[in-house]
Amino acid sequence: MPKTKLENLRHLVRYGTAADQKYLLKPFDATYDAIIINANILAHMPNALALTLQQLKKPFFIDPQTHAFQHGAEYLESSTANGKIKRSIQNLIEEYGEPIATKVTQRKALVPRDLASPNVLKEFCRNVVRFQSKTIDSLVSKGENAKYYAYLKRKGYKSDISFSPTLIVAPYFYLTPQTFDVWLDLNLKCLHEVMAEEGKSGVRVAAQVVIDGSVLSNPELIKKLADEYGKKPPAVFLLWVDAFIEQEADETQLKAYMDLIQQLSVHAPVINLYGGFFSVALMVCGVLPRLTGVAHSLEYGESRPVVPVGGGVPVSKFYLPSLHSRLPFRFAFRAIRALGGLSSVSDYHSKVCNCGECVAVIKSNPEEDFYTFGRTTKKEVLRRGAPSSLEYPTPETKDHCVRHYMWCKHKEFTSKLACKELLQSLAEAHKSLRGHLDLQYVNQCAIWSKVIRERIEANAAK
Amino acid sequence: MKLKAKKLKEFDIVANVYDELKKTLRTPILLEVPMIGRVVDLAYLKNNRVFTIEFKIKDLNKALKQAKDHLLGADFVYICVPPRKIPSEVRKLLQAEGIGLMFYVKGAKKSIKTVIRAKQSKETWPVLRMDVMQYIKSGQKKYAKN
């Protein structure tokens, strides 16, 4: 696979589960630039992933998820298999070797001194890198298409026959204010070790920076983070702020978030691993020129808590394009009614959404057709001993919602709106919906618009 | 030593009201009715209209929030609480939303007393209302068999 320029990795999608696959293949393969694969998924189903990547021929990289081992073994255990370590994690442990294997066997969390020995650190880094760089490529070279790829190689089609990741991520660990220094020191050692080894062969090495949200409120820690990484910068930063939901963040948090990206990007481009429309708008408006990419999962992954590692049941919600946010279905309905989208098909398509999925679904009567995005099945369960009912989105409902979401994200990333128009659209959405929904679902538009405008003015004044 | 009066539990109230309405209304009635992300405590059909009741022992504001969502799938929406003084701002809110209020009077011959009559919901979404109606009817048949 050719080495794609970093600035061409704008829209990244995370491959979360096997069920995600159909939303990455045609016709959606044309809507995004690269795929991020979680290491535990790769360890769990390497053959299926190798096949998918051969079909897609998209740039990809692997999140090694090394932080998983610093939180305690309880986060690695299967909830259904009597305390056993999850199979995908067990496979990963076999790949990463020591000191992880021993620590997990002892049901202990990894601590920085476990990697204090230079030799242990070197071996650990080597294993983590090898897993990322070789797993897919070696499966492809042994697979059904191997002869074909060998033929292409002989013919000089070098660009299509390697399935190496577009960048390698150094082992990384989660930083909180309380444990900041010790883990940062280890993160830097891992990064420098991988850069020393891989840099020789021209491989791009990324530093994944995973921080607790409270780090954002500490300008000294942000500065220290940027300064320390800046001494010997990676090719790119991959940023993940624990459970940072852009739609729920206040002005101060968003400003600190921008400061962090700004300071890191002095040293290398930044890709936001879990970002929503605020991050996309920062890119579109060019507010932070070296924020080069934003990633999300399918439908539910514009933010993610660091623990639990993997898992979680996605809930079907409707992504309302004007608010750039997923809404519980009842609120989505109210919003669409308020926007005047239920009067006619053309009103729906002009005032709410005209993505491929909405065009296919909303075709005769929006008031009836829109229920397609919210239909549920009901199941009776016992809660605290009393009978109760739960609602689950039907598989069809989830399918419609994810397709709609994917088309909407594509539109956002490829928007031709000028920054001024984009900010105007946020202000209009806020104005037209604030009287119809709880403010928590609307106010992000006003906040985003304000902080982006202020940053543009501040940049201009410099 | 005086024995403390047994506290009213929400589920007991719901069950008592359900039994009482089932006898008096003789119309499809069901507990725990899902409605796009909410579960209505009790819903029944009367003259081809959907009625819902949300029960709460204490938190009237929470009940109001939940009841507002019921307006999408029902014709008439009620909140039911044990008798208490209702602050005037809550009363105004209920009236503005068209949500009715009932008091549950434990031990009374007729245990629920309408304090504010619900107005016909202006928010009803016909497709959802139809879905809720069908759910109540199908649930009624299922439980009748048992």
Q: Could you tell me the pLDDT band of residue A184, with boundaries at 50, 70 and 90?
A: very high
On the question of pLDDT at A227 being above 80, the answer is yes
Number of domains, chain B: 1
**Using the 8-state DSSP alphabet, how is residue A77 labeled?**
B
Residue among B31, B37, B126 whose CB faces A330 most closely: B37
Instruction: Please tell me the predicted confidence (pLDDT) of residue A376.
Output: 86
Specify the CATH number for the domain of residue B101. 3.40.1350
Interface test with B, best of A316, A330, A390 (most B CBs within 10 A): A330
What does the pLDDT average to over A348-361? 97
Continuous segment of H or E residues that includes residue B101: strand B100-104
B145 is a domain residue: no
- Both tokens of residue A298? 């399918």
Q: Measured between beta carbons, which residues in chain A are less than 8 angstroms from residue B32? A: 380, 387-389
Domain that holds residue B45: 10-138
Query: What are the domain boundaries of chain A?
Result: 6-296, 317-461
Please, what's the b/e burial string for A288-326 (b: 16 or more CB within 10 A of its CB; e: otherwise)? bebbbbbbbbbbbbbbbebbebbeeebebbbbbbbbbbb
Q: Are A239 and A261 in contact (CB under 8 A)?
A: yes
ipTM: 0.86
- Selection from A412, A411, A39 nearest residue A15 by Cα: A39
How far apart CA A140 and CA B29 sit, in angstroms, is 60
Angle at B45 between CA B44 and CA B48, to 5 degrees: 165
Interface test with A, best of B11, B18, B30, B32 (most A CBs within 10 A): B32
Count of CB atoms situated within 10 Å of the CB of A383: 11
Average pLDDT per consecutive 10 residues, chain B (146 residues; last block may be shorter): 58 89 90 88 95 92 92 97 91 94 89 95 96 87 50
How far apart CA A295 and CA A273 sit, in angstroms, is 5
- pLDDT tens-digit readout, A252-269: 999 999 999 999 999 999
Q: Measured between beta carbons, which residues in chain A are less than 8 angstroms from residue B33? A: 389
User: Cα A46 from chain centroid?
Assistant: 20
Angle at A454 between CA A452 and CA A457, to 5 degrees: 110
* B32 contacts A371? CB cut-off 8 A: no
Q: Are A210 and A173 in contact (CB under 8 A)?
A: yes
What does the pLDDT average to over A205-214? 97
What CATH number should be reported for the domain whose range is A6-296? 3.20.20
Question: CA distances (Å), A86 to each of A40, A124, A234, in order?
Answer: 9, 21, 32
Q: Could you tell me the pLDDT band of residue A346, with boundaries at 50, 70 and 90?
A: very high
Residues 17-46 of B with CB under 8 A from A: 31-34, 36-39
Question: CA distances (Å), A401 to each of A238, A300, A315, A334, in order?
Answer: 28, 11, 10, 17
